[in-house]
Amino acid sequence: MSYRDLPYSLLELASVREGDSVGRTLANSVAYAQHGEHLGFNRFWLAEHHNMEGISSSATSVLVGHIAGATKTLRVGSGGIMLPNHPPLVVAEQFGTLESLYPGRIDLGLGRAPGTDPITSRALRREHLGAEQFPEDVAKLQQLLGPLQPGQQIKAIPGAGTNVPIWLLGSSLYSAQLAAQRGLPYAFAGHFAPRLYREAIHLYRSQFQPSDTLARPYAMLAVPAIPADTDEEARFLATTSYQRILSLFRGQPLWMRPPVESMNGLWNSGEKAGVQDFLSLQLLGSTDTIRQQLDRLLESVEVDELMFTIDLYDPEKRRRALDILAATRPENRTEKRSLS
């Protein structure tokens, strides 16, 4: 399938620039979402991370409501709620409330990782339950967000009957298989774990079982992107994400740092290779260059939607990147298709 036929969406971590405040960061996220909406992007999802200096998306459902309240047509959701951290009833109540406030615009993406380090994971985890409880928790959420059943004792109020669309997220084969078995839409995290993207999406499609939710498989692929006016500028701007991933590897704070002319002296050869592997699906360059990269990417995998992470230091250049990305589409716009 050509990228020209696919909806474009955005994934947001609410990344904090070094020395900046969370308040300004979130104001920039709102402006970014509004610009994406103006250009016709389909979804705006917010990630869940904890105890990570430089990422301010820990209270994911709060930010989903904040962005939804500042936009009109954009689908807003979680990419994702890390289910081991939360009782399904609480998630159902939160997203049932969001759906009641912004009907037809809320997505509930679910992950089975904690989204943090082991120590913080233990501080978050309810009743010491982990990822092994994930399939049961997904089933509970489906029940809580579905129609009330006779004799049902535990009810999500709000939540019951809202049928908020549930997505399963993953970076391995496990969630792909579970999404296929449950007949749910699936999103692969190629923006940080690209190695198995072809295998996972192929497994999902080949094993998909139709459900009341979804008649056909629907797969979304998340990829990192650095759109810029020229290829040279894109290579320069990309050094912000290189520095950040390097900090992740070293266990350092993940503040967004300004781009640099050269990474020489900032990383060694092993670290450089690790960063490049982490970003092996990255789209980088001008509109024409990204068009070519998208064509090559979609020769290797069949997806129904693309979701982009755009890690740029300057908020204005980040919004400009959306213009450049949208220009890869016919008539310089993104054709919207909602899955609800």
The identity of residue 112, as a single letter, is R
Q: Which tokens is 169 given?
A: 């997220």
CA distance readout (Å), 78 to 11, 75, 300: 9, 10, 27
In terms of Cα–Cα distance, which of 194, 98, 92 is closest to 152?
92
CA separation for the pair 34, 70 (Å, rounded): 7
Closest C-alpha to 75, from 307, 329, 327: 307
User: Left, alpha or beta for 19 (phi > 0: left; psi -120 to 50: alpha)?
Assistant: left
Helices (H), the chain: 22-39, 60-69, 88-101, 118-124, 134-145, 173-182, 197-207, 231-237, 239-250, 269-278, 287-297, 315-326
Of 3-12, 193-202, 312-321, give the range with the top mean pLDDT.
Answer: 312-321
How large a percentage of the chain has pLDDT more than 70? Answer: 90
Using pLDDT thresholds of 50, 70 and 90, give the confidence band for residue 4: low
Kindly report the average pLDDT of the chain as a whole number: 92
Least confident segment among 15-19, 63-67, 117-121, 231-235: 117-121
- How many residues in the chain? 340
The 10s digit of each residue's pLDDT in 238-290 is 999 999 999 999 999 999 999 999 999 999 999 999 999 999 999 999 999 99
- pLDDT tens sequence across 121-180: 666 665 555 667 899 999 999 999 999 999 999 999 999 999 999 999 999 899 999 999
Least confident of 94-103, 107-116, 152-161, 201-210: 107-116
Which band of pLDDT confidence, cut at 50, 70 and 90, is reported for residue 335?
very low
Comparing C-alpha atoms, which of 148, 181, 183 is closest to residue 166? 183
What whole-number distance in Å separates Cα of residue 65 and Cα of residue 55? 18
The answer to whether the CB of 308 falls within 8 A of the CB of 10 is yes
Question: Cα–Cα distances in Å, from 263 out to 94, 222, 240, 318?
Answer: 43, 25, 10, 21
Instruction: Output phi, psi for 77, to 5 deg.
Output: -165, -170
Q: Is 306 helix (H, G, I), strand (E, B) or coil?
A: strand
In whole angstroms, what is the distance from residue 112 CA to residue 116 CA? Answer: 12
Q: What are phi and psi of 117, to 5 degrees?
A: -85, 165
What is the identity of the amino acid at 151?
A: G
